């Protein structure tokens, strides 16, 4: 039976992830001190920001005595991967509504999810686009009675407090840098931002002009807060796209910094940061922390 003890084991037993200084000639040249918060090392199966985002979502599902967890994602979704792992830890069945063809069930992400007991339901792109449509959600709720529905990426208001707790583990710094997709992680960080630390999010999706509004919806305080910004130009052509030259530079950075990076989130944001440092966007003398949000499981096909 699922219960809150399993949730406590999953969350209260964990220690915080390490913070490591990074060294690179470009950093020296521009007078930038950069460290990395290794949330990719937080948990062996629920890595990075998904562990944090799911924390209070899962507790709520258990409190409501949900009979299962249901959510949405693409075929390489870190969120579905983490949710499947969480379901197994908590003794709760999970359902993944996957955008794509059943053939993708053979990829490492979905193979893990299925092995951890997640039921996979593949839907067309058209159907997937209806993932916030109340009528479709009502149909799904009827198909999976008692299941707790979690939006794509886990970005609900309940994701914010789990992310906000990250600040307790960080030393003072001028700026925290992170990759951004749906905006839930950034919203949680804005909500509890210490006055002295600015936030810069590197959007990994193309044309993410809508992000600021979404972040404002999740965290109304963000609207009046001038201490965060989005960089929208470093998407590399779109979500999960990465030109060969960028891929090469990400590999080069991963080697030079001695940190594992993947091309969808951490690598794209790190490359964006280095380009911005080179362009003089960060003042000399700045101390920066880069948040490694995890997601290395998705790179098992190779960088
Ligand atoms: C999901 C994910 C993100 C994006 O987080 P959002 O809260 O959707 O902005 C960033 N990095 C990794 C590795 C992720 O899996």
* Per-residue pLDDT tens over the stretch 127-137: 999 999 999 99
For residue 16, how many C-alpha atoms fall within 13 Å in the half-sphere facing its CB?
Answer: 14
13-22: average pLDDT: 88
Helices (H) and strands (E) in the chain, counts: 12, 10
What is the position in ligand 1's atom list of the atom closest to the CA of 48? Answer: 13
Ligand 1: residues whose CB is within 6 Å?
Answer: 48-50, 78-79, 153, 155, 179-186, 265, 293-295
**Residue 105 in tokens:** 């069930």
How many Å separate Cα 250 from the centre of its chain? 19
What's phi and psi for 231, nearest 5 deg?
A: -110, 115
Q: Give dist(CA 252, CA 269) in Å, integer.
A: 14
Determine the 3-state secondary structure of 176 from DSSP: strand
Ligand 1 geometric centre to CA of 1 (Å): 30
Residue 5 has pLDDT above 80, yes or no: yes
Name the token pair of 13: 């037993």
Q: In which band, very low, low, confident or very high, does the pLDDT at 14 lie, cut at 50, 70 and 90?
A: low
Contacting residues for 50 by C-beta, under 8 A, at least 6 apart: 78, 79, 81, 82, 83, 154, 294
Ligand 1, atom 1, residue with closest C-alpha: 153
Q: Does pLDDT of 48 surpass 70?
A: yes
Q: Ligand 1 center to residue 80 CA distance, Å?
A: 12
- pLDDT over 70 percentage in the chain: 98
Structure-token pair, residue 122: 């593949």
- Measured from the Cα of 296, ligand 1's closest atom is 13
Domains of the chain: 4-44+157-301 (3.40.50.1100), 49-154 (3.40.50.1100)
- How many whole angstroms from 205 Cα to the centroid of ligand 1? 11
Q: Which tokens in the block code for residue 190?
A: 């804005």
Which atom of ligand 1 sits closest to the CA of residue 155? 7
pLDDT for the residue 2: 55
Beta bridge partners of residue 98, listed in sequence order: 73, 122
CA dihedral 146, 148, 149, 150 (to 10 degrees): -170
- pTM here is 0.97
Mean pLDDT rounded to a whole number for the chain:
96
Q: Cα 287 from chain centroid?
A: 23
Instruction: Output the pLDDT for position 3.
Output: 79
Average pLDDT over residues 135-143: 96
Using CA atoms, how far apart are residues 108 and 263, in angstroms rounded to an integer? 17
Atom of ligand 1 nearest to the CA of 53: 7
């Amino acid at each position: 039976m699922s219960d809150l003890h399993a949730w406590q084991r999953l969350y209260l037993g964990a220690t915080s992830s390490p913070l490591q200084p990074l060294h690179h000639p470009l950093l020296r040249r521009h007078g930038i001190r950069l460290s990395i918060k290794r949330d990719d090392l937080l948990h062996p199966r629920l890595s990075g920001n998904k562990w944090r985002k799911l924390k209070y979502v899962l507790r709520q599902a258990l409190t409501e005595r949900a009979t299962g967890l249901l959510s949405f994602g693409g075929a390489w979704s870190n969120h579905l991967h983490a949710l499947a792992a969480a379901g197994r830890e908590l003794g709760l069945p999970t359902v993944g509504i996957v955008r794509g063809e059943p053939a993708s069930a053979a990829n490492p992400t979905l193979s893990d999810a299925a092995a951890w007991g997640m039921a996979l339901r593949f839907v067309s792109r058209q159907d997937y686009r209806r993932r916030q449509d109340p009528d479709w959600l009502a149909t799904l709720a009827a198909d999976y009675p008692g299941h707790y529905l979690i939006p794509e990426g886990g970005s609900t208001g309940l994701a914010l407090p789990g992310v906000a707790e990250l600040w307790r583990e960080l030393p003072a710094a001028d700026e925290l840098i992170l990759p951004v997709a749906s905006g839930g992680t950034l919203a949680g960080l804005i909500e509890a931002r210490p006055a002295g630390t600015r936030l810069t999010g590197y959007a990994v999706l193309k044309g993410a002009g809508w992000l600021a509004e979404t972040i404002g919806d999740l965290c109304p305080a963000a609207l009046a807060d001038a201490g965060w910004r989005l960089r929208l130009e470093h998407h590399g052509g779109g979500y999960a796209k990465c030109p060969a030259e960028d891929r090469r530079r990400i590999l080069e950075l991963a080697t030079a910094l001695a940190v594992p990076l993947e091309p969808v989130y951490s690598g794209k944001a790190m490359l964006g940061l280095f380009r911005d440092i080179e362009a003089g966007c960060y003042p000399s003398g700045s101390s920066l922390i880069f948040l490694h949000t995890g997601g290395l499981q998705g790179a098992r096909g190779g960088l």
